[in-house]
Structure 1
Amino acid sequence: MEEQARRDKERVQFRADMLQWRREEREARELERQREEEEKQNRLEVLRNQVGVVAEADPERMMADTEAWRSRHLNVKFEFELQRPLYSINTYTDTQIVSDPRVRVEQALREAGLHHSQYAQEVLSVIKPPKPPRRDTKSTLKF
């Protein structure tokens, strides 16, 4: 019985020692983590101080024109020249095209769904252009 009591005491003491050792290990890890966190915060603070704003407030400079704006507005003529078309186009305007009765009739036939019918061909062949075509544009080829 004494032997069993002694073993139990040893076992209880061993468990208490292990518990104490684990607690000390946990506290040591916590202290190490806190020390690393403090070092990290110190490094971040040093970095913040390095990149901190050192410019003074200058509302006049803030509201003034920038160099890019000034250079762009000094070269307005040059910019206009760049945006000009490379060549002029001699063609009809949209109002001239729409004023032609043939186009309006063809559009009405399309909306009605008749533009492929025999009726559409007959109607469009009867309508004359507003002005007769120039004589030099007529083809001499016979098809």
Structure 2
Amino acid sequence: MPRQCSIANALEVVGERWSLLALREIFMGVRRFDQIARNTGASRDILTARLRKLEEAGLLERRPYASRPPRHEYVLTESGRALHEVLLTLMSWGDRYVTDGPPPNVWAHSCGKVLEPVTVCASCNKPVLAEDMAALRVAEDMAALRVHEPQ
């Protein structure tokens, strides 16, 4: 039996190339279907299906911007906006390990420096390293962990 995990659950929603590229475009401010199709290279039928799935999953809302003919744009929901860190981290990994040469795009942070995303622990604010983590079984290990939490 396959391991149950939230990564697999998330991939059911966003684990397809055109879904992630559509989300990339919407994060970058591109909200209209034709522009999303042009910037991703997705065919119209595939993009329609992916956007519909993202909308059904609650990551996007489709809002009208013209009535004749009826036209819609795509806007991120709170759930969709929460994927921003995931996309930035995926882009950073791609820049470092997959892309030949310099990155095709970089993001500047409001501090004036090139953004380099880092995942930190919300409790101690230290960087998250694989060797510092342990998988816990929610029902058993989390109950034991709560007993040892400081009050």
TM-score band w.r.t. shorter chain: under 0.3
The TM-score normalised by the length of structure 1 is 0.17
Give the greater-gyration-radius structure (CA).
Answer: 1
The TM-score normalised by the length of structure 2 is 0.16
Question: Which structure dedicates a bigger proportion of its chain to strand?
Answer: 2
Question: Which structure dedicates a bigger proportion of its chain to helix?
Answer: 1
